[in-house]
């Protein structure tokens, strides 16, 4: 499994796009008071969701993901494709059962759903897809 999802969540910040929308003057985008209030409610919902996540644990997950990625790349480069696949599948299973990552992905999904209901803000990029990729025997970690 590629740790890029965790890296996206930590490095870019899950709600940086929402925060940007809240920091920019509402008149710049002709947001009315109701739209601004809805945006602030989304921010509060996201802040509340994220408050229960241990940021240190997420940083540890990122570091572990990077180490596993390097290990898997080494196995692939040395021709140990089967071992690399086994290691990738094992790591994927660990990640999908991690409660902090599950909560982070839940917060991301909540934010995405809430953002979809808000008025569109010109220039605001869409929320990135932060879902976990499907990892199974049909795709190989070395490819």
Annotated domain spans of the chain: 4-117
Asked if 129 and 34 touch (Cβ cutoff 8 Å), the reply is no
* Residues 6+ positions from 42 with CB-CB distance below 8 Å: 18, 111, 114, 115, 118
Question: Which tops the pLDDT comparison, 115 or 133?
Answer: 115
d(CA 130, CA 121): 21
pLDDT band at 9 (very low <50, low <70, confident <90, very high): very low
Looking at residue 14, its pLDDT comes to 46
Q: Among residues 108, 105, 73, which one has the least CA distance to residue 1?
A: 73
Looking at residue 136, its pLDDT comes to 66
Q: What is the pLDDT of residues 55-92, one digit of tens each?
A: 898 889 889 999 999 999 999 999 999 999 999 889 98
d(CA 49, CA 46): 5
């Amino acid at each position: 499994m590629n740790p890029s999802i965790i890296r996206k969540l930590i490095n870019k910040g899950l709600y940086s796009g929402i925060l940007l929308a809240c920091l920019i003057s509402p008149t710049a985008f002709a947001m009315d008071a109701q739209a601004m209030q809805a945006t602030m409610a989304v921010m509060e919902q996201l802040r509340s969701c994220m408050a229960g996540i241990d940021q240190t644990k997420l940083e540890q997950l990122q570091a572990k993901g990077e180490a596993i990625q390097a290990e898997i790349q080494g196995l692939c480069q040395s021709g140990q494709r089967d071992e690399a696949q086994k290691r990738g599948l094992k790591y994927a299973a660990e990640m999908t059962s991690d409660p902090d990552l599950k909560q982070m992905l839940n917060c991301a999904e909540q934010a995405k759903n809430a953002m979809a209901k808000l008025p569109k803000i010109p220039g605001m990029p869409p929320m990135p897809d932060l879902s976990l990729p499907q990892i199974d025997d049909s795709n190989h970690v070395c490819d």
